[in-house]
Amino acid sequence: MAVHPIEERYGTAEMRAVWSEKNRFSCIVAAEVALAHAEASQGMIPAEAALEIDRCAQEASLERAKVIEGEISHDMMAIVKAISEVCGDSGRWIHYGATSNDILDTATGLQLRHSLDLIDEKLRRLLGVLLKRSEETKSLVCIARTHGQHGVPTTYGLRFAIWASEIGRHIERLEQLRPRVVVGHLTGAVGTQAALGPKAMEVQEAMMRNLGMGSVDVSNQVIARDRYAEYFMFLANVATTLDKIGIEIRTLQRTEIGEVEEAFGKDQVGSSTMPHKRNPIKSEQICGLARIIRSAVEPALGNNTLWDERDLTNSSCERILFPEASILTDHCLRLVANVLEGLVINKAAIRRNLLFLHGINMAESVMIELTRRGMNRQEAHERIRMASMQALAEDRSLADLLSGDREVVRYCSKTDILELLWPDAYIGTSVEQVDRVNRKLSGCSL
């Protein structure tokens, strides 16, 4: 029976598999095998023992390890015993010179590598969707809003390109943090490597080479958790971008705005009591889950403040933080890409909202032109501001009010004013900016 929603409601099968109990066990076994080979390469254990461990370790079972743990109340030692049982005489060399977190943290590094691979793939897919939509809509003029109020025009293409640029930076961040996060260690009980002898550092390097991952320069009994905190802060940053996109879609789908809409299935139900409803439930889900992902940051930072060479306060919360934050981030990335792929764009509503203020929101355009033609910038701002306030208060056309201002007309004719208040002509370099983003990032997307 499922207890947590990530067991049956949220998450992809591939990310769940990364953080599953079964894969965790497999990564621990892989770390122990890599340790045996590394020690054999340095003459610390017989080469034939390492080969036998490699041959037999995969026969160890999670179920047997759980039985042993029930008897001895130590999860890592239970796995060591379970592996040793299937490795014959060579089992005596399992875990030689290591302490629990040498293996457990190294196994976490393997899981993080797989996790980052999946997140990277989904970030690149999302980037591809955003670039496609930005290209499709780069000339689609719409009203921009600041403080929730109508401003001068923008384009939908520019909005999508801004999101694409942000996702591009997340891809950069992922590549930058990967070598700091995907690491293992072999430093022994308190970090001195005393049990491993004079070739300890060479053994550590060989073990991590065997696993295809980085090696720490120094550690105590555990890998310093600033590395993992960076991972969680990265996930939180990604989730916040997805939250931002979700909020914008929800805002633009409001009935009175109606510019976009999540795809709605033929048989989909919006409300149990209001049959007409078409709700942005996927975007709402993204925004809600982003709060959970961000909540991982504080305990992840706290996990770096352990006593002396280590305590165990990090262990319990990491068992929750890693799978939960990773699975939910992966889930939200897939969901956002799906929403944006199917997003319905209502061009009629976009046009209606663009012209809603009958040019009053275009006041900046007139002010800039008046200044360019010789009027003092501050005077131009005040004249246009006063006319705009009057137009709003009296529900009048800004063009009519400005055309009646002799000082304004001295610089701009009535025809000029009408042209300056036309929104399609005031989108600046929006199209060029979209083209630049597409050229820069097209090679990064799937």
Choosing from 147, 272, 358, 381, which is the catalytic residue? 147
For the range 364-372, what are the long-range contacts, defined as Cβ-Cβ under 8 Å and sequence gap of 24 or more? 364/152, 365/152, 365/420, 365/421, 365/426, 366/402, 366/408, 366/412, 366/417, 366/420, 366/421, 369/411, 369/412, 369/416, 369/420, 370/408, 370/411, 370/412
331 tagged catalytic: no
What is the helix (H) or strand (E) element at residue 30, kind and residue range? helix 21-41
Three-state secondary structure string covering 118-157 = HHHHHHHHHHHHHHHHHHHCCCCEEEEEECCEEEEEEEHH
Q: Cα(325)–Cα(336) distance, rounded to whole angstroms? A: 16
Choosing from 4, 74, 139, 271, which is the catalytic residue? 271
Q: Which residues of 398-425 are buried (b: 16+ CB within 10 A; e: fewer)?
A: bbebbbeeeebeebbeeebbeebbebee
139 tagged catalytic: no
**What amino acid positions are annotated as catalytic residues?**
147, 271
